Amino acid sequence: MNNVIAVDIGGTHFRVGLFDEAGRRLLVSENATLPAGGREWVLEQVRDHCRRFAEKSDYPVKACGMSFGGLVDSQCQRVTSVHFAGWKDFALADWMWEMLGVPCRLENDANAGALGEYTYGAGRGLGSLFYVTLSAGIGGGWISEGKIIRGRDGLAGEIGHLPVSDTGVLCSCGARGCLETFCSGEAIARRGQEWAGRRSETRMIELSGGAIEDITAKAVIEAAAQGDMAAERILREAGRWLARALLMVIRLLNPDKIVLGGGVAQAGNLLLDPVNEAIGELKSPTIGFSTAIVLAELGTLSPLYGAAVLAREAAGTPV
């Protein structure tokens, strides 16, 4: 018997999990990411959690899998983050090997999330799945017949940077009009702050301690769940933008399912209903499709489960 360690490093949280060779989760920890701490702070936290889990494991830890919320060179196993400094072309898999002494495989969080849902979640038994991670930014992972499809330059699935408009704020990638600038967690938070700046009678301010600048996507979602009309409208707008991009995915790839994951997807039907309504309005009356759009079964842990799949593959354990 052997166990594996899975790590998910995101823009707002990092997670570490211990899994057995059958893919069952044994231990998991979730902590907030401290952007000001930089790369070294994150690595120190990950190191401490991994070593602690390895010590607690009843069986030897044979491999590690990692999910990273940024650009990943899958061939060289190096990462770059456009959101935080210190991660440019960093050999993260090599660092894990030196730290933990076991082989490590690395994927970006969208591909890892797709792998997790395909193996353990909403994609079980399907031929194809497109996974969308709706977090601080937006990413996408495309799996067909059990394989991650990356494309020539590793850009397959990058739905967050589809140009859905000719205008809008500048995206983290340097372009304008990207989907990410309309319905990511950062975009929803910005819309909440803009709305509260014009009208103070909104629950979003109360849920943020009275400070408009502290309104987050989570506060917008919580306010919408409590019936705040402004917050509901923000999520409806985000859902309509997302629907446009998902309809493009359906037209281009026609997957069996589209799975929505990440922190923003925790809004549940407050987001999913507007998405489905907008697709109903935008779709062609003569070109039908049966692709289902669903919420991730694994919630915010989809990338962590995907990292566990990578670890099991690195360990040579059949998945």
Q: Is the pLDDT of residue 241 over 80?
A: yes
pLDDT recorded at residue 70: 87
Burial class (CB in 10 A: 0-12, 13-18, 19+), 317: middle
Decide the pairing of beta strands 71-73 and 78-80.
antiparallel
pLDDT recorded at residue 83: 66
Query: Tens digits of per-residue pLDDT, 104-162?
Result: 999 999 999 999 999 999 999 999 999 999 998 999 999 999 999 999 888 899 999 99
Q: Is the pLDDT of residue 85 over 80?
A: no
Q: Which residue is associated with the tokens 């889990």?
A: 53
Q: In degrees, to the nearest 5, what angle opens at C-alpha 297 toward C-alphas 300 and 261?
A: 45
Decide the pairing of beta strands 138-144 and 61-68.
unpaired
Q: Is the pLDDT of residue 233 over 80?
A: yes
pLDDT recorded at residue 318: 73
What lies within 8 Å, CB to CB, of 130 at 6+ separation is: 114, 140, 141, 142, 143, 157, 249, 253, 255, 257, 258, 259
- Domains of the chain in start order, with CATH, are 3-115+300-314 (3.30.420.40), 127-296 (3.30.420.40)
Structure tokens of 75?
């061939």
Candidates 169, 109, 165, 176; CA nearest to 139 is 109
Query: Tens digits of per-residue pLDDT, 150-197?
Result: 998 888 999 999 999 988 899 988 899 999 999 999 999 999 999 999
Band the pLDDT of 82: cuts 50, 70, 90.
low
Band the pLDDT of 49: cuts 50, 70, 90.
very high
Structure tokens of 192?
């909440």
pLDDT recorded at residue 173: 86
